[in-house]
Structure 1
Amino acid sequence: MRKIFNRYFELIFWIVALACLAFTNPAGESHFSLCPLKAFGITWCPGCGLGHAISYLFHGDIKNSFHAHWLGVPVLVVLVYRICKLAIGHKYRFDKQGQ
């Protein structure tokens, strides 16, 4: 039961995270952020760069996406792949080894 909850929690988490990135304006500097580094006044954060890169991709701005973080495209591909795997419900080989 716990594994099912964890799988659905992760699935919902990634879907909501990508939806938030799709509906935010990456160019806006005044948008709300949960970044702890930004809260302390640090302006550069690799996580924020990835978030901006993915948001730019959702808005079709590939040039600014690569400028924000060059791993934006691969990370988006991996996240979409992970969402698909969680939604379909396939088990991975390492899940069987842990039982």
Structure 2
Amino acid sequence: MVIRWIQKNLEAVIWICAMLWLGLAVNYQENTLGFCPFRYAGIEAVIGMDACPGCGVGRSIAAAIHGEWKISWHHHWMGIPALAIIAFRIVTLLITQHKNQPRHGYLPDVPARSSARRSRGHQRSYEQDDRIAKEPIPYDI
């Protein structure tokens, strides 16, 4: 049951895990560069930038999660809007999944009754369908 819920809500689970990681594991008070694939690939040295445009967004989001708005803005100005956008996306995914869920819970993985009847030979023949189609329609309703 839990695995099925995770499969149906995989994007929301990934976003929630990312926010938990940023909130619990990232030290936003340090001013280190952190992991930047552009810096490790040497692209920053080629284009002459000291940091890529996305450096600091993770620490900025982590600071915003902890309510440190000035530190968040100092690390990167896009951290606070990114946190708001990601939070909105998580809520939207969970509400959409809840609305699209059947009222009686998850459906079991068993074939429908009508398909089981057809496989046993209980379906109507074409002659019966023709006879039903040829019956007159009563107009005195």
Same fold (TM over 0.5): yes
- Other-structure match for 1:51: 58
Unaligned runs of 5+ in 1: 92-99
The count of corresponding residues between Structure 1 and Structure 2 is: 85
How much has 1:64 moved relative to structure 2?
A: 1.4
- Other-structure match for 1:73: 80
Unaligned runs of 5+ in 2: 1-5, 45-49, 101-141
Larger Rg computed on CA atoms: 2
- Other-structure match for 1:26: 28
Q: 1:87 and 2:94 equivalent?
A: yes
- Report the TM-score, using the length of structure 2 for normalisation: 0.50
- The change in CA–CA distance for 1:30 and 1:74 in structure 2 (over 3 A counts) is closer
Between Structure 1 and Structure 2, which shows a larger proportion of helix residues? 1
Instruction: For residues 21-72 of structure 1, give each alpha carbon's deviation from its aligned partner in whole angstroms, at most 9, with x where no partner exists.
Output: 10110233386x3x31243364513333221111111222211111111121
Amino acid at match of 2:40: A
